[in-house]
A and B are shown apart, each in its own frame.
Chain A
């Protein structure tokens, strides 16, 4: 049994938490992409 299920949370609230966690994860991945593009962009301009 997962910790949240053990704590007695309702099934519906669990799904909502899960959806928010997944949406957050996808946004974090996009933010990582933005950072990596910035890094590559800066490196490509600085290097001879």
Chain B
């Protein structure tokens, strides 16, 4: 049982949450400018209204909680968990005002899907959505990939002492520099450099397939933002299938693979340590699981004769699989094709790929290649222990920015997080089944929300039960924050409202 928090603790958390909300409110300047440029005057009104309301909420929270205290680990974790919920409610305002959603719950679902870089959508008539609304959707997913709190740390909170605790709470634990403020800035630098390169590459690909210059640029910007953040949003309801282009698919694949790499790895490679790219336990783990799952799914699809040509197999099987494994969720087929054509084995490979996910401290979700690698090393160590004499002493090492020794604490932490992912995956799958969906379909959709992927087998539509929407929102949130911040938030709220014992 934790110590009952004081009102002062709650004020500190509210203060930092207020700063995060102000950071997100400032982002509304981007869709406002887009609305001005595109002459979307009704959008300008509801984005401006949302800006005013969000700033009011942000400043109110910051003022209510104004305090000189520095945050502890508990404050950092609870702020990370709590601020994601507040930000979800605030960022859903423009969605709700736009009239493109059937309910406020649907709008919040899409915000959580964007921020957690999941990519599932409940928006109505996406194909005719306003430019500014699309800008907001993709900006949310781009910022969510880097981390909402990383954004606030880089531009608003310069107090690096307490900032690190918020940063870790958001599921990132690599310090590229001793100061978390510089680390957050480095993460943004890497993302913005690739934003320029990726948008240019997709713009060229768009022009090559015959899109008009202006439209090609906007599609390139939005699709790039969703690719880098492994988000999976696209401006058209058919997602990547809309472009019917192998070139477009190849360019997106390159950038979502890059987005799923650890920011510490990007930083190491950019600083000249290129060997780390193929020595790192995460890239080795990712390449291994991707290879095994690609072989399994393509073999199954070939046996079923789903794709009679090799080109079709690569474009459909490998693309969906790498999109699932990096937790991007870009689809180049219709959702129901997965359920009706792919067969159980290929779907099982997709579910595993979605659950494993990309790298730790990246924009990707899932339980991460690092933890798969560490657990694999622990299995090897235990096997060696069994085969050697009881008196033998040995250590198991792995490569992760230099040689490291595997410790019991790392294995325990990795196993617990994987266990919790699997637990909420089964719970959401059971919830889907309880709502009447076939279990394999429910498991597929559950893996997609838990791993923050965004693939849909057809369950996620506006008409799905509200109960299932809430379960999916919870799984996206818990999966993105890797549980610790979520558990801390629940424990804090429970302890805060607990009665004092006589």
Give me the interface of A with B, judged by CB distance under 8 Å. 2-5, 9, 14-15, 17-19, 21-23, 25-27, 29-30, 32-34, 36-41, 43-45
Contact = CB atoms under 8 A, between A and B. Distances in A.
Which of B274, B290, B291, B318 counts the most A-chain CB atoms under 10 A from its CB? Answer: B274
B258 A36 contact: no
B193 interface: yes
A30 B299 CA distance: 17
B394 interface: no
B271 interface: yes
Contacts of B271: 2, 4-5, 14, 18
A27 to B, nearest CB: 6
Given A22-B277, A27-B254, A37-B310, 6 more contacts: A5-B271, A22-B261, A36-B294, A37-B298, A37-B318, A38-B310
Contacts of A21: 269, 274, 277
Given A40-B295, A40-B298, A44-B299, A15 B314 contact: no
The 10 closest A-B pairs by CB, nearest first: A4-B272, A44-B302, A18-B270, A40-B298, A2-B272, A33-B318, A40-B299, A26-B257, A18-B269, A26-B254
11 contacts: A15-B193, A18-B272, A19-B194, A19-B270, A21-B277, A29-B290, A30-B253, A32-B291, A33-B290, A37-B314, A40-B294
A30 B266 contact: no
Nearest to B277: A25
Contacts of A41: 298, 302, 310, 313
A1 B215 CA distance: 45
A9 B253 CA distance: 31
A28 B269 CA distance: 16
A22 B193 contact: no
Interface residues of B, number: 36
Q: Is the interface of A mostly helix, strand, loop or mixed?
A: helix
A29 B257 contact: yes
Interface of B: 193-194, 197, 250, 253-255, 257-258, 261, 266, 269-274, 277-278, 283, 287, 290-291, 294-295, 298-299, 302-303, 310, 313-314, 317-318, 321-322
B352 to A, nearest CB: 16
A21 B273 CA distance: 10
Nearest to B250: A30
B254 A19 contact: no
Nearest to A33: B318
Nearest to A43: B299
Contacts of B269: 18, 21-22
Contacts of A30: 250, 253-254, 257, 318, 322
B289 to A, nearest CB: 12
Given A19-B197, A26-B257, A32-B291, A37 B250 contact: no
A29 B298 contact: no
Contact of B313 (A4, A26, A37): A37
Which of A3, A29, A38 counts the most B-chain CB atoms under 10 A from its CB? Answer: A29
B54 to A, nearest CB: 35
A42 to B, nearest CB: 9
B295 A36 contact: yes
A23 B193 CA distance: 13
A44 B243 CA distance: 30
A47 to B, nearest CB: 8
Contacts of B291: 32, 36
Nearest to B298: A40
Contact of B266 (A17, A22, A29): A22
Which of A9, A21, A37, A45 counts the most B-chain CB atoms under 10 A from its CB? Answer: A37
B319 to A, nearest CB: 8
Given A29-B257, A32-B287, A3 B272 contact: yes
Contact of A44 (B193, B257, B294, B303): B303
A43 to B, nearest CB: 6
Which of B193, B261, B271, B303 counts the most A-chain CB atoms under 10 A from its CB? Answer: B271
Nearest to B253: A30
Which of B193, B258, B269, B277 counts the most A-chain CB atoms under 10 A from its CB? Answer: B269
